[in-house]
Structure 1
Amino acid sequence: METIQEIDVSKGIVSHLFEKIILPSKPKYVAKIGIVGIGLQEHFDWQSILESYAIAKNKLQSVLPKDKFKLIAAEQPIQSKEDIYNWLQRTKTEEIDGIIVYQASFIAGDLAATLARWLNQNKIPILSWSHNEPTGGRLVNNRLCGQNFLLNILNSCGVKYSWLFESPEEENFTKSIMKFAKAVYVKASINQKSIGMVGGFRVPGFYDCELNELALLNRFGIKVDRVDFDTIWHHGDRFKHEDILEIKNELINHPLCKFNNVTDVQLEKSIRLSLAMADFARENDYLGLGLKNWPELFDHYGIAGDGAGALVQDLGIPVADESDMGALLSMIMMNQISFGEATPTLVDLSLIQKDLDRLGFWHCGGAPTKLINVKTGYEVRNHSILENFDEKSSLGMLLEFLQKHGPVTIAKYQYPNASEVIVFEGNIKESEMAFRGSYAEVAPSKYNAKDVLATIMNNGLDHHSIIGRGHLQGELNELNHWLGIKNIEITTSKDYLYGRSN
């Protein structure tokens, strides 16, 4: 018989039942990356240039996942300004999303200048890649100097770039290449896509939850659909009552479910809303959803929407509580950069544990069930914040649990236009449930908890954060470079719990 510790929640508690009755997800984006070798036959070893470029192409083919990337390669290394221009123009018909320039040897300067001009006219990410060469005799290819020469010209022409000096055989090579490739993938895969704001607008008074839509479209390529509750609610009419009951019974009778005090009516309404949101998101191919989970869901529909959003997130569709666009954007970036592995969730910074050097992150109960700490299970509850007013009138459904342990990244693209972001890494540690809801205690990896807190407070940063699974800071920093987003630096706090505005 399966023990509690052996129960697998990696796909969520009821996602398998959802997938039977909602629309399937659309095919994932495939990013196109061009690779071109550059060199100079007149003064350098052309045979070694040909051989090293062939190795470079083969290595890239092997490390780029074929379901996410298509590699478009120049057949031979290129030497002249005319040939590089012609190759670049041909790639336009392929709609390439990024370019890797392999520095096989020193080059002619006019080739680099032609590349720079084309990149200024065609704004796509570029990685300059080279590595060491044989030593002990003649300078065979002069690769490093050639790469320096290329980047000097790109910089002089105002071209943004990334660079890598690492052999294909080195242990870290795949990780390095994937850092660039993932940034290319995210930038292209979100372009001209939409998010859905269910309920239309932000919740009352939460000013830091609304982003400038034109800034969002201009920087990220993301459009906003504002969808009223009536549209979503009636979208749920297509689902059969017996399917709702099957999901409800699985949810409240699961071996990890320790408690339930939500009425059948509220459970069934919440599940129907969850199905409606998931199906509507799939139908419109949304990158994610913002959910205005109060006050209308309380006042007019008689439910708390947090648990509904949690079940949608188990399907790989990010849902940000309280219609927080910046939070949703942060969830989408984490989701895309990790190829869906980050399982991002929205939290408030609600506690600092001085003695343990930890930060406590909490929210009402809208985290995906994929994140349940199997050891402690979950509870299906009425809304604890509503209980502060009147326990008897509190509404459900919320899913309350300690989040599972492991490495995480905390990030938030900031109000009002997502031109700045705070990102840091940490690990969720064993803890007691400090507050009812969805809770996790994070020990920061590179900073003290007090320094993170001081940075947030001194800069007056947004009150929501996003926790994503895995250490993703390197990948997010690369993406932010290409999106022109400033990283907010964590600064050392001189006083423990006292500071002042910057």
Structure 2
Amino acid sequence: METVASNPVEQGVVSHLFEKLIQPAKPQYVAKVGLVGIGLEEHFDWASIKKNYKVAQTNLQKALPEDFFQLSSSKGPLQTKEEMLDWLQSVEKEGIDALVIYQGSYIAGDLAATLARWLKQHAIPVLSWSHDEATGGRLVNNRLCGQNFLLNILSSSNVKYSWLFEHPESDRLSERVMPFAKAAYAKASMNQRMIGMIGGFRVPGFYDCELNEIALLERYGLIVDRVDFETIWKHGQKFKEEDIDEIREALLFHPLCKFNNVTPEQINKSIRLSLAVADFSRQQNYIGIGLKNWPELFDHYGIAGDGAGALIQDIGIPVADESDMGALLTMVVMNQVTLMEGIPTLVDLSLIDNGNDRIGFWHCGGAPTKLINEETGFEVRNHSILENYSIESSMGMLLEFLQKTGPVTIAKYQYPDGARVFNFEGEILSSEMAFRGSYAEVKPEVYEAKDVLSAVLNNGCDHHWIIGRGHFLKELETLNHWLDVSQIDIPKNLDHLYGHSL
């Protein structure tokens, strides 16, 4: 094949051509974070309290990426219940998605009680922030005890909270505060957003791929919009054949494309479907989509939709194969909690290598091309599972490749309501392609592969998993705290090839 000018893999191999043809993405959500300082002038060093609050304000502003966060701060530290209520009512009018409370010193109990009452009525994530103080003389602020006192009152009022003990000028401030900030961002940015189920419902018989819609709305704020294929195909008629031909050529003549056995007709149909879904999703402002890639696409449209889903993901829209709503929920959560850097992709747990402590994750060929391992490239193929029945009648387009190596977080919010999650961190290591499709071998962090397998099977977990790029378990755990999601334990197991339901 002739090599032509190509898009870098990290951007998606044909995403630049998609962006020329589809509606532009709407601006990202910007979360409003309130910052209030608290202290007590009567018994503590008010000058240092005010100075430290300004330092905290300045450095928190630096720690929060301005593309995703807007900070709204009190002018100075507050010390009475009346001041606190006035400030809270003012930011309530503006609307805030999270609250950070800077502990300037010990505080009056009625201020804390007023704060607790307001938080009880306004269920937003709240972070209590304190730090060390100078030693060797009088205890001039007693801020750690003040934080202890504040959190006792919040706890007694059944108010959820997160807390942080880190100096405002610490080099680690951003690292320490961002798990809370990202969790707050994810919670706020998902609220009242739609996910599109393209094809209407899950694939036949995949019972663990459906979630209770009311539970999904109540816990995560997500609304399900179900769209039939006929609507999507009609939407796709607006795209010109010559534009689709250009995308096909850019895909097949990309320097990393090593093989193709899919007909031009099926590739063009797949690209048209991909453009239609991507454009429709941008139009509806979906935060993610589930794609029912069989049986209708096989039986009535003559394609396999996995590759179409891959190209949609390259422009930043999560796509869950087989309309797995729990997988889509997990992908959306990963996308939002990583500030769009997680590149989540759906997989099956298909291999366990006890000797090398690895788990093999595989799916047919619907992973975003941003994940291609550049050392091995990719192939454009007919569906390998359909080939198990008949090579001649199989169809495409699927994109098969080894996924690039690096740190990952793996998770799945569980059937039937997303109230439980199984998650762990690991590393994708170099490997051979154990099975044709999109494949990655993961060595878990903290746990052994056999412990993960035992926990999955003993708990009867859902059969799809989501791999996200980077280690962000702390961010997920923080978000799960605020969403009341319980985490499934991964205990040590003495017999890893035998177990029982729990």
Cα distance, 1:7 vs structure 2: 8.4
Task: Tell me, yes or no, if structure 1 residue 416 matches structure 2 residue 416.
Answer: yes
Alignment of 1:260-275 (within 5 A): 260-275=260-275
In the other structure, the counterpart of 2:43 is 43
What is residue 335 of structure 2 aligned with on the other side? 335
Q: Distance in 2 between matches of 1:19 and 1:7?
A: 12
Structure 1 position 117, deviation (Å): 0.6
- 2:230 aligned residue: 230
Give the Å deviation of 1:340: 1.3
For residue 445 of structure 1, what is the amino acid of its counterpart?
E
Q: Distance in 1 between matches of 2:339 and 2:7?
A: 24
CA offsets 1:111-145 (integer angstroms, 9 cap, x no match): 11111110011110100001011110101000000
In the TM superposition, residue 62 of structure 1 has moved relative to its aligned partner by 1.2
* C-alpha deviation, 1:169, in angstroms: 2.2
Amino acid at match of 1:249: E
User: Are 1:303 and 2:303 an aligned pair?
Assistant: yes
Name the SS for the 1:24 alignment partner. Answer: coil
Matched residue type, 1:175: E
Q: In 2, distance between residues paired with 1:62 and 1:341?
A: 20
2:161 aligned residue? 161
Residues 17-50 of structure 1 show CA distances to partners (whole Å, capped at 9, x for unaligned) of 0001100000011100000000000000000001
Cα drift, residue 171 of structure 1: 2.7
Match status 1:447 vs 2:410: no
Q: Partners of 1:309 and 1:297 in 2: how far apart?
A: 12
Which residue of structure 2 aligns with residue 201 of structure 1?
A: 201
Rounded Cα–Cα distance in structure 2 between residues aligned with 1:7 and 1:314: 12
Give 1:320's aligned residue.
Answer: 320
Task: Give distance in 2, aligned partners of 1:295 and 1:7.
Answer: 32
Instruction: Kindly indicate whether the alpha-carbon contact (under 8 Å) linking 2:7 and 2:16 is maintained by their aligned counterparts in 1.
Output: no
Instruction: Give the aligned residue type for 2:282.
Output: R
Q: Does residue 126 of structure 2 align to residue 126 of structure 1?
A: yes
Which residue number in structure 1 is paired with residue 72 of structure 2?
72
The answer for the alignment partner of 1:96 in structure 2 is 96
Q: Check if 1:257 corresponds to 2:219.
A: no
Superposition map of 1:381-460 within 5 A: 381-460=381-460
Runs of 4 or more off by more than 3 Å in structure 1? Answer: none
The runs of 5 or more residues in structure 1 that have no matched partner are: none
Give the equivalent residue in structure 1 for 2:29: 29
Asked whether the equivalents of residues 7 and 374 of structure 1 are also in contact (C-alpha less than 8 Å), the reply is no
Aligned to 2:8: 8
SS at structure 1 position matched to 2:10 = coil
Counterpart CA distance in 2 for 1:395 and 1:409 is: 32
1:422, 1:173 → 2: CA distance?
29
Q: In the alignment, residue 97 of structure 1 is paired with which amino acid? A: D
Cα offset, 1:8, TM superposition: 3.3
Residues 79 and 108 in structure 2, CA contact (< 8 A), matched pair in contact too = yes
**Cα distance in structure 2, aligned partners of 1:359 and 1:348:** 10
Please tell me the residue identity of whatever aligns with 1:403: Q
Residue equivalent to 1:358: 358
Equivalents in 2 of 1:251, 1:165: separation in Å?
50
SS in 2 for 1:370: helix
Percent identical pairs in the alignment equals: 67
Deviation, 1:489, is 1.3
**2:110 equivalent in structure 1:** 110
Matched, 1:61 2:61: yes
* Bigger mean CA deviation after superposition, 208-217 or 175-184: 175-184
Deviations 1:332-377 (A, max 9, x none): 1111111111110000000001211000000000000000001111
- Aligned alpha-carbon RMSD (Å): 1.2
User: Using the alignment, how far apart are the partners of 1:254 and 1:164 within structure 2?
Assistant: 48
Q: Decide whether the 8 Å contact of 2:7 with 2:14 is kept in 1.
A: no
How far residue 148 of structure 1 moved from its aligned partner, in angstroms, is: 0.1
The equivalent of 2:367 in structure 1 is 367
User: Secondary structure at 2:392's aligned position in 1?
Assistant: helix
Residues 105 and 142 in structure 1, CA contact (< 8 A), matched pair in contact too: yes
Deviation of 1:254 after TM superposition, in Å, equals 1.1
2:475 aligns with 475
Match of 1:52 in 2: 52
Distance 2:122 2:229 in 1: 41
SS at match of 2:99: strand
Helix, strand or coil at the partner of 1:211: coil
Alignment partners' CA distance in 2, 1:35 and 1:164: 14
Q: Residues 291 and 321 of structure 2 are in contact (CA less than 8 Å); yes or no, is this contact kept in structure 1?
A: yes
Once the two structures are superposed, residues 262-287 of structure 1 have per-residue CA deviations (whole angstroms, 9 ceiling, x without a partner) of: 01110000000000010011001000
Give the alignment's TM-score, normalised by structure 1.
Answer: 0.98
Residues in 1 aligned to 2:60 and 2:496: alpha-carbon distance in whole angstroms: 48
Contact 1:33–1:100 under 8 Å retained in 2: yes
Distance, in Å, in 1 between the alignment partners of 2:176 and 2:411 is 21
2:232 and 2:280 in contact (8 A); partners too: yes
C-alpha separation in 2, matches of 1:274 and 1:60: 41
Report the AA paired with residue 257 of structure 1.
C
Contact 1:361-1:441 at 8 Å conserved across structures: yes
Give the deviation of 1:175 after TM superposition: 1.1
Residue pair 2:63, 2:173 contacting (<8 A) in 1 also: no
Deviates more, 1:165-174 or 1:318-327: 165-174
Aligned to 1:147: 147
Letter of the 1:61 partner, please give it: Q
Counterpart-to-counterpart distance in 1, 2:420 and 2:136 = 48
Give the equivalent residue in structure 2 for 1:241: 241
Separation in structure 1 between the aligned mates of residue 273 and residue 133 of structure 2, nearest angstrom: 61
Is 1:286 the counterpart of 2:286 in the alignment? yes
Give 1:390 shift.
0.9
1:437-485 CA distance string (max 9 Å, x none): 0000000011000000000000000000000000010111011111110
Question: What is the TM-score of this pair, normalised by structure 2?
Answer: 0.98
**Separation in 2 of the partners of 1:424 and 1:412?**
10
What corresponds to 1:379 in structure 2? 379
Distance in 1 (CA, whole Å) between partners of 2:208 and 2:366 is 19
Cα deviations across residues 406-426 of structure 1 (Å, max 9, x unaligned)?
Answer: 000000000000000011000
Structure 2 equivalent of residue 345 of structure 1: 345
Give the distance between the partners of 1:314 and 1:339, measured in 2 at CA: 15
Which SS does the other structure have where 2:389 is aligned? coil
**Does 1:137 pair with 2:137?**
yes
Take 2:182 and 2:354, find their aligned partners in 1: how far apart are those partners?
A: 37
Rounded to whole Å, the distance in 1 between the matches of 2:165 and 2:64 is 18
Q: Structure 1: which amino acid aligns with 2:181?
A: A
Query: Which amino acid is the alignment partner of residue 477 of structure 2?
Result: N
2:348 is paired with a residue whose SS is strand
Aligned residue type for 1:247: I
Tell me the distance in 2 between the aligned counterparts of 1:286 and 1:491.
Answer: 37
| Inter-partner Cα distance in structure 1 for 2:396 and 2:356 | 33
Counterpart secondary structure, 1:279? helix
Name 2:180's counterpart in structure 1.
180
Specify the code of the residue in structure 1 equivalent to 2:258.
K
SS at match of 2:479: helix
Q: Is the 8 A contact 1:31 1:70 kept in 2?
A: yes
Q: Counterpart in 1 of 2:171?
A: 171
